[in-house]
Structure 1
Amino acid sequence: MYMYAIMLNRRPSAVACLMCVAILIFLFPHGSALARDSVTQPNVPMIGDYAGELREKQPRKDGFTHVDTPRLVRRLQEMGVNTYFYLIWHSASDWDDLRLEFLPAAKEAGIDVWVYLVPPSEARERRSEPYGTDYVAWMRAVGHLSRSFSNLKGVVMDDFNHNLSVFTPDYLRRMRAAGHEANPHLRFYPQIYQPAIRKELLSRYRGLFDGIVMTYRDGIYRNTQRTQQLEHQVTQISRLLHREGLPFVLMVHASKLSATPANPSARYVNETLRAGLSRLTQGELQGLITYVLQKDWFPETRDRLAKVGHGYGCLFVPPGSHPPAGRSGELKQVVFPEGPPPYRLTFYHRVIAPARLPAGQYIQEILVNGNRVWSQDAAIASRKNWQQKKLDLTPWLKGKREAVLQLRLARKQTGSRSWLFAAFDHLEATGFKMENPEFETAIGWTAYADHPAIIGETLVYDPRRRMRVYLQTMTLFRAYRWQEEIASALPEEFQKQREDFRNHLLQGRPTQALSSLDSLLKPFRQSSLESQHRLLQEGEMLKRLLSIAQ
């Protein structure tokens, strides 16, 4: 997309911001038709976003930088969401911004709101204000506020399963009683990670949850790189919650998960959203929420960790669950000696880990055909930045037509459960040929691990990631909601084309989706009804979005 050229390696200039505005005017020449529907009714799936709030540029007279409600609501409308999880945590003014400004604006825009609170484990340095960790008071206050705003639906509690010593069944009963005293329809959804959603937990809290929010992070191997387990986990949890009569809301990461190498790629967000919408279609989910979709677009320079260029080879061990001693992960490729020796390799390497990583747990290695050529303790490497190393590979490549070069992270001793990742970059070969030595694309290198707790990948920094993710999310959310809405307005002979459009969309086939969409617009172009004219406007906007997305 040529529009991505506006993105610079710093915060955007005034010209860049004007170009962003121009893009949105191009996409929404008639405003945001779909997002102004009435507030979500029962049985209508949640399509929503969490946090990532926009704030005003300058503090007000009270000293606080308040939520920029007009801009935030405008972005939510553009995205096509019907639900927003409003996080109260970043500023002491968040509660007042919610009740005095955001709720009425969201109601006018047709957006349901859930108050999202942080638990005691997240409230050591900063709390949700004004009630802090008094969650009985929070439920009472939200209940009273919801009587004035019908679009305020309930409370979501972050990291519920990490705070069970506080949120005992007795305490949760007190919380619910306080909320229901003010509004009997107020709902409570805990946010729980997949490994903890078990029959035993649901039995212990039976009747105390109104639904569950599960944030996907690949189970016990917490990361935002692998998507393969998402659909299996959703199916498994959906069956369990269905037996309990509990709605199931999936949250997928659009921004960085702590203790991971980088923000999730645009590919990752696209895959998880499509999988979530597919499961929404099949009835396994009752809601899909993006985790901190960024609504300001500038390069995330903290992700630019490469020694040279934008990419580097990464071997990542997530926190909490670790490989036993003797297990390893590697990036490898076949190299080809050319001409007589010597054969030399120069490369850069580093390790990023918490300061508490003890010595002797992990080592970085270079191998040729399984023979170790070089190694270094990862704990020692983690105390330094990029380091250069020069190796003579002549003894291992002499007389060979080809050989396998392996960049490895190996577990030496079982003990530490700390996260870490080893990085390799800027390889220079003398006397032999290799592909993609700068890791600027995903080609050339194959990732392999003998344990799922080691994740190998070529990580390429994307200065346009925020805008890519925003546009992808907007396209998927609005297209999904539109095809659902037109179902009752379409003649019977077009219903098969509507299903084709949805399937192409959710299976990542934008060209085919665009073709199906064009056919779907024909009956709306021929109609004089105002309601169908609105659907036509939305469909034409989707054509522009899908054209850009190709």
Structure 2
Amino acid sequence: MNANTYAFLVHNENDWNDFEPFLREAQTAGLTTWAYLVPPTECPGVDDTCSTYLPHKKDYLAWARAIGALADEYAVLKAWAMDDFYYNRAFFTPAYTGQIRAAAGIDFYPVVYVHQLTEAFTISYANVMDSLILPFNDSPNRNTVWTGSLRGHLDTAVALLAAKSKKLLLMPYAATLSATTVTPDVGYVRTVTAVGIEYVKAGKIAGVVQYALPLTPDLPQAGDVSFAHTGRGGLVFTVHSNTDTQAGDFAAASTAVRLDPGSTSCSMVLWHQDNWGDNTPGYHMKQALIGGTKVWERDIASEGTDWYTSSPRDLTPYLTNGVGTLMLRLYEAKGVANYRVLVRFDDIRLTGCHIANPDFETTGGWTMTRGNGPVFGGTHISDPVYSTTVHSTVAALYTT
């Protein structure tokens, strides 16, 4: 896949025993390798003792020395990383982090999300880290469907780290992230990775590292489901459970609608679906707008959980010189605190007019916007051989 580095996760009981044999092979292949450790909040064991995190349990100074000894023997071992570093900063104080970094004698990369990367954190830890791994999950909204915030996150992080002459490595989620509603599809990984490579080429970040990109061919994405009415692609909007929204929040997808040559009228039928059923109305609204005018609306609580079609909607009065902007969105009529919803659109049928990608079988043709963070959406295309497709997709991007 044109990668030059492998991050070897040390988590399960036998991982450390497998690490040196892997390093022997990596040395022969010339493959740069990192040791990727987990912190006390993730390590196996009981009572926060890391009792089965073998061989060194919660003694990260011993882990560091062992990693350093392997690095002395295998030149390809050039760095080690610590997952969920920020959540464990009470344990990994700047002083202790400096000790373990010095004991290993190779680069140290903490994993920190953008909402955790403050000026105070950077000042405290810049001298005891070499680069920083920045996972992208639309933090703090935690999803793997929305990519519109990526450049802003990178620009913020780059500026903070540049003040201390440090860089970051962007981590796209190529595998399913826990506590999310929509799994990452190939289009999501492609978009995040491509932006990362753009920033690498511009000299702004140090690299791109995929989170758990699958290496076994011809497998679907773990936990993936189809959001399509037909085919494999659909437009999906979601609000997580235990999430606060406000009236007026929304996420939307927009595209241009145009009259067909010789046509004087335009009508539309939508296929739509949601996961809620017919109760607790008045909160989440499925909507279609033309040029900012609402032409169709359904409360998610007004119907069951099947796929439904709208009645035909005449869009002609809302077009200007035969052209208009169609927007599909999930809109918050009232704020919620714990009201999870999953809304899907697919198979838009137009008569006398046309749009790009009406079946959402590709990722193009639509522009995503949102009115606030807790509501988000995007096109999702399921793939029965996701592992193969995403591997080749990343490989093509890495050649750049």
- TM (norm. structure 2) is 0.75
Is 1:376 the equivalent of 2:295? no
Letter in 1 for 2:248: G
Q: 1:83 maps to which residue? A: 5
Richer in helix (by share): 1
* Inter-partner Cα distance in structure 1 for 2:89 and 2:79: 20
1:316 aligned to which of 198, 215, 238: 238
Deviation at 1:310, TM superposition (A): 1.1
Q: 2:381 maps to which residue? A: 460
Letter in 2 for 1:81: A
Where in structure 1 are there 5+ consecutive unaligned residues? 1-78, 353-357, 480-504, 506-550
**Partner SS, residue 213 of structure 2:** coil
Does the 8 A contact of 1:348 with 1:427 survive in 2? no
**Partner SS, residue 314 of structure 1:** strand
**1:89-113 CA distance string (max 9 Å, x none):** 2x422111112x1011111111222
* Inter-partner Cα distance in structure 2 for 1:240 and 1:433: 49
1:244 aligned to which of 164, 176, 179: 164
Is 1:207 the equivalent of 2:132? no
Deviation at 1:420, TM superposition (A): 4.7
1:329 aligned to which of 251, 273, 296: 251
Deviation at 1:85, TM superposition (A): 1.0
Larger Rg: 1
**Partner SS, residue 387 of structure 1:** coil
Q: 1:387 maps to which residue? A: 306
- TM (norm. structure 1) is 0.57
Inter-CA distance 279–390: structure 2 relative to 1 (3 Å threshold): closer
**Partner SS, residue 372 of structure 2:** coil
Matches within 5 A, 1:287-436: 287-300=207-220, 302-317=224-239, 323-331=245-253, 347-351=271-275, 362-366=283-287, 369-370=293-294, 373-377=297-301, 386-389=305-308, 392=311, 397=314, 407-416=328-337, 420-425=341-346
**Partner SS, residue 470 of structure 1:** helix
**1:518-547 CA distance string (max 9 Å, x none):** xxxxxxxxxxxxxxxxxxxxxxxxxxxxxx
Deviation at 1:349, TM superposition (A): 0.7
Deviation at 1:426, TM superposition (A): 5.1
**Partner SS, residue 250 of structure 1:** strand
* Inter-partner Cα distance in structure 2 for 1:350 and 1:149: 54
Is 1:160 the equivalent of 2:116? no
* Inter-partner Cα distance in structure 1 for 2:237 and 2:45: 32
Deviation at 1:152, TM superposition (A): 2.2
Inter-CA distance 250–175: structure 2 relative to 1 (3 Å threshold): same
CA RMSD between the two structures:
4.1
Deviation at 1:298, TM superposition (A): 1.4
Q: 1:196 maps to which residue? A: 116
Does the 8 A contact of 1:220 with 1:320 survive in 2? no
Deviation at 1:452, TM superposition (A): 4.9
**Partner SS, residue 209 of structure 2:** strand
* Inter-partner Cα distance in structure 2 for 1:404 and 1:112: 49
Which sits farther off after the overlay, 208-217 or 109-118?
Answer: 208-217
Higher relative contact order (CA 8 A, sep 6+): 2
Where in structure 2 are there 5+ consecutive unaligned residues? none
Q: 1:521 maps to which residue? A: none
Does the 8 A contact of 2:146 with 2:377 survive in 1? no
Deviation at 1:294, TM superposition (A): 2.2
Richer in strand (by share): 2
**1:480-515 CA distance string (max 9 Å, x none):** xxxxxxxxxxxxxxxxxxxxxxxxx5xxxxxxxxxx
1:96 aligned to which of 4, 14, 17: 17
Q: Matched residues, percent identical?
A: 25
